[in-house]
Structure 1
Amino acid sequence: MTDISTTEPWEQWWELLPQGIREQVDGYVLQDALMPAIRAVWEAGQAHGVGLQEAQLVVHERYSHHGDRIARTPDNPLDLDSLGARAAGAPGRVVAIEVVWDGDTVHDWFVILYAVTADPEGEQALATVYRHTAQRHLDGTDPALHHPCAAVADKVGRALAARLSVPFHFASPDTPDDEAPRLRPS
């Protein structure tokens, strides 16, 4: 067993977990299944005082430990040909392109690019743009006052809307707001 006086808190929480749970968590991490990994640590560690924040820290450290061995979930493509192909597969006539904010405890703020449809009325998610995706897409350029996700989604969304000859809508490009007014087809 590890000498507790020389370990980080996350290492102590990791050591408290049964071997089977540790193997399960590492399996989830290697598959880039963040939420199931956190849940496994949290559920098994509650009896030892491991809360949700501690579970997140443990899993973060396991991600760091495994590094390049993790089979990362691929980013959504943001090129116009791919987005156009996805829009063409929407169940209805595309009448607008819209960007909507969302967020969670794992990714912080991110945006979703939608094709808004009529006949039938609805929406088709075309791409989710997380901060890490946006930063790679920006390739070191400064998005100025915009959140990186907003800057990228605004750029590709406007270009896609122009290609499809439909309006573009982004209710809150300057500030993350998951309650900003949504566009609805008329």
Structure 2
Amino acid sequence: MINAMTEDECWELLPDGIRAQVDGYVLQDAFMRAVRVAWAAGRSVGLGLTDAQRVVHARYVRIGDRIARTPDDPLDLDSLTALAAGAPGRVVVVEAVWDGDTVHDWFVNLLAVTADPDGDHPLATVYRERAVRHLGGEDPSTRHPSALVADRVGGALAARLGVPFHFASPYTPDDEAPRRRSSHGGTA
């Protein structure tokens, strides 16, 4: 980190072309790409990874009203039912599976698991921010908001479809929790 420089001072150390590229990625809501560019170019002037992350965050704050945000996946029952109906094969279970990355931390993927053909079909990704908005101020208590929303929405969808709902680790993020598998080796 450069001796407590402000984000604006760090930003000014970057060449014009790099600043334009960083802003381009920010406007596309591509945080990690923007950080990668700022860090790669900034190393030559002493910017570290933390500096690059601070600079990109500051750009999000400064030009945030112009960002083409990736739309949230729908979490309403009618939309999820329509998505499940579009999956190839017969839906045999609705499953919630933990995942995570450096941008969103932990999140939950809702999947329609099918037979004939066997497969997993994404229905929605429930990120923390979306889950908090979906809960509308409700305190998720000791559970991760994404888990609470995925549990409710996934359970309701499974009930509507008349199939089981499986969430192997509803209280603790675990991207290696056991998946639901049938005795013949496929998913079910």
> What's the CA shift string for 1:119-146, capped at 9, x where partnerless?
1111001000101100100000111221
Q: Tell me if 1:145 matches 2:139.
A: no
State the shift of 1:9 in Å: 3.6
Matches of 2:119 and 2:46, distance apart in 1: 45
Residue identity opposite 2:62 in structure 1: H
Where has structure 1 moved over 4 Å in runs of 4 or more? none
5 Å matches for 1:82-97? 82-97=79-94
TM-score, length-scaled by structure 1: 0.92
For residues 157 and 145 of structure 1, what CA distance do their matches in structure 2 show? 19
Alignment-derived partner of residue 53 in structure 1: 50
Range moving further from structure 2, 37-46 or 115-124: 37-46
> What's 2:116 paired with?
119
| Alignment partner of 1:181 is 2:178 | yes
- How many Å separate the matches in 1 of 2:5 and 2:78? 48
Which residue, out of 98, 101, 108, partners 1:101?
Answer: 98
Q: Which residue is 1:39 aligned to?
A: 36
Residue type of the alignment partner of 2:157: L
Measure, in 1, the Cα distance between the counterparts of 2:77 and 2:170.
Answer: 20
Q: How many residues align?
A: 182
Separation in structure 2 between the aligned mates of residue 95 and residue 158 of structure 1, nearest angstrom? 13
Q: Structure 2 regions of 5+ residues with no counterpart?
A: 182-186
CA-CA distance at 1:52 after TM superposition: 2.5
SS of residue matched to 1:37: helix
- What's the secondary structure of 2:74's corresponding residue? coil
SS of 2:95's partner is: strand
Structure 2 CA distance for aligned equivalents of residues 148 and 45 of structure 1: 36
Match of 1:24 among 21, 32, 37: 21
Q: CA deviation at 1:12?
A: 2.8
Whole-angstrom CA distance in 2 between matches of 1:129 and 1:48: 39
User: For the residues of structure 1 that align with 2:123 and 2:44, how far apart are their CA atoms?
Assistant: 42
State the alpha-carbon separation in 1 of the partners of residues 110 and 164 from structure 2: 13
Q: Which runs of 5 or more residues in structure 1 are unaligned?
A: none
RMSD across aligned positions (CA): 1.7
Matched, 1:169 2:138: no
Indicate the residue corresponding to 2:127 in structure 1. 130
Task: Give me the whole-angstrom Cα distance separating, in 2, the residues matched to 1:178 and 1:160.
Answer: 22
Q: State the alpha-carbon separation in 1 of the partners of residues 48 and 116 from structure 2.
A: 47
Q: Distance in 2 between matches of 1:136 and 1:24?
A: 31
Aligned residue identity for 1:56: Q
